[in-house]
Structure 1
Amino acid sequence: MNIDPSVLNNVNTQSGGPKLNQGQSGELRESFLTMLITQLQNQDPMDPMKNKDMTAQLAQINTVSGIEQLNDTLNGITQQVDASQMLQASGLIGNAVLVPGNNVKVSTGEEGKTHTTPFGIELESPASRVEVTLTNQSGEVVATREIKNVKAGVESFSWDGQTDGKEAAPDGAYNVSLNAFNADGEEMPSTALNYALVQGVTPATANEDVRLDLGGVYGQVAMNDIKQIL
């Protein structure tokens, strides 16, 4: 009497099959033991069951129990990780962060002072210089800057809101383009980052991890999309 391997596949949730509930697995073990006892009681005295056959059959049912316990343990760990991520994400609500993007916003305060949102860059290795180009929504260049000796990793910067003509840029949204170069003048891979405000958190689902709601055009992002907390 051998247990069909498909039963093990059904128990193991990693295989994609449905998981047996506690009642079903209990019935499986009870049926197995009943059949094993019946087999021992009615075996041929001249040809009794060999020890290795009994061991193999017991190993099968133990495998089922072991997989169930492992799945329960993994489910517990997953729930703890999800809870930890949810707690960490909730702590970011109300904080400003840098995420992949190329937007900069300009606004004028009550005192007439120009305010701009930060922007940033992510580099795999240090850059000798980074060329910054800011354009309006029509694609017209309003300001250019050059930043020297930028370290590897994530660096944040701010624009003074002044155009190349030394005038205050009108309120509104602008796009920032970043081009990084090494000491040999060769262009390097880089990722532009923009400012966003964490407004809420969406719990993890079966298909997605915890998501952060940045509102507006930014929508929702994953935790690992946060490159820097400002």
Structure 2
Amino acid sequence: MTTNTTIGGSGTTVSQTLLDTMNGTSASSASSSSSTSSTSGQNLQTTFLQLLVTQLQNQDPTNPMDSSQMTSQLAQIDTVTGVSQLNTSLTSLASQLSAGQNAQAALLIGSTVLAPSSSGFSVSSGTAPELGVSLPAAASDVTLTIKNSSGSTVRTVDLGAESAGTTTYTWDGKDNSGNTVADGKYTVTAAATVNGSAGTATALAAGTVQSVVQQSDGSAGLALSNGSTVPLSSVASIL
């Protein structure tokens, strides 16, 4: 049943639904958050103005209503409206950035890039792709370890001291004894020493960008010829 509330001394009534809407105590608002979210900030502002005008027209001059609550509610409505507009702007900006990122990624198709390779790389007739290491900070010593598909180490390379950034390394396809390794799949890992302690180092392997894919988080990913799919942001160098 709908009830009315008297405003001022003239006996003018205002729908309880209108008051509940402004006070945030309506049954529909309490029943579910989805009902509340469906009411836009613009609708709340319109409802507020209707109530404010009704109050000003019918309040008792000798006993005016307290306007502090209405002022507080107006501030809250403005906040909700501002947040809603901000969310819309950020969503639009994210879509534009995503489209721009996809366009940039598409330009790399056919290019050779250095990136982390979770699936390793292939060696054919003693020819291996360019390798490298990415360092967030300068290291006093950096070592690359190359293993075959069975997990055995075939080559250990000491690069010595390296500055922060990306360093490339051309492997001649030979093992520690100077013999050409067999054709197949290989992996590379990196280790760094920083101030006498183990540091962070990311091993890299070259691959040709074959296509652009959408990753689970919506960002652009690059499918490489070595079988890896890497985020666009993880590309350390374009060769």
Instruction: Give TM-score, length-normalised by structure 1.
Output: 0.72
Structure 1 residues 224 and 37, CA gap change in structure 2 (3 angstroms): same
Q: How far 1:85 sits from its partner (Å)?
A: 1.9
Unaligned runs of 5+ in 2: 1-18
1:97 Cα deviation after fit: 1.9
What corresponds to 2:122 in structure 1?
105
CA RMSD of aligned residues (A): 3.5
Radius of gyration: which is bigger? 2
Match of 1:166 in 2: 178
Task: Evaluate the alpha carbon distance shift between residue 215 and residue 45 of structure 1 in structure 2; reply closer, same or farther with a 3 A threshold.
Answer: farther
Gap change, CA 1:226 and 1:47, over 3 Å in 2: same
Aligned to 1:34, what secondary structure does the other structure show? Answer: helix
Residue ranges of structure 1 left out of the alignment (5+ in a row): 11-15, 109-113
The aligned length equals 214
Write out the 4+ residue segments of structure 1 that deviate beyond 6 Å after TM superposition: 16-19
Paired residues of 2:42 and 2:81 also in contact (CA < 8 A): no
1:63 corresponds to which of 73, 79, 82: 79
Whether the 8 Å CA contact 1:96–1:196 is kept in 2: the answer is yes
Is 1:223 the equivalent of 2:232? Answer: yes
Match of 2:210 in 1: 199
1:32 to 48, 67, 72: 48
Residues 1:136 and 2:165 are matched in the alignment: no
Are residues 57 and 150 of structure 1, via their aligned partners in 2, closer, same or farther at CA, if it must alter by over 3 Å? closer
Q: How does 1:84-163 map to 2 (within 5 A)?
A: 84-101=100-117, 103-108=120-125, 114-163=126-175
Structure 2 match to 1:190: 201
The answer as to 2:63 corresponding to 1:47 is: yes
- C-alpha distance after superposition, 1:129-165 (max 9, x if no partner): 4343333222333334333333322111111112334
In structure 2, the CA distance between the partners of 1:74 and 1:44, relative to structure 1 (3 Å rule), is same
Distance 1:74 1:19 in 2: 22
Amino acid at match of 2:22: I
2: CA distance, partners of 1:18 / 1:194? 53
Q: Please point out which of 220, 224, 230 is paired with 1:210.
A: 220
Assess if the C-alpha contact under 8 Å between 2:41 and 2:77 holds in 1. Answer: no
Identity %, equivalent residues: 34
SS at match of 2:124: strand
CA distance in 1, matches of 2:103, 2:136: 30
Shift of 1:116: 0.9
Equivalence for 1:3: 22
CA-to-partner distance for each residue in 1:40-69, whole Å, 9 max, x for gaps? 233223212355455434333333332333
Q: Distance in 1 between matches of 2:130 and 2:114?
A: 8
Question: Contact between 1:137 and 1:173, CA under 8 Å: does it hold in 2?
Answer: yes
Question: CA 1:148–1:213 in 2, change beyond 3 Å: closer, same or farther?
Answer: same
Give the AA of the match of 1:70: L
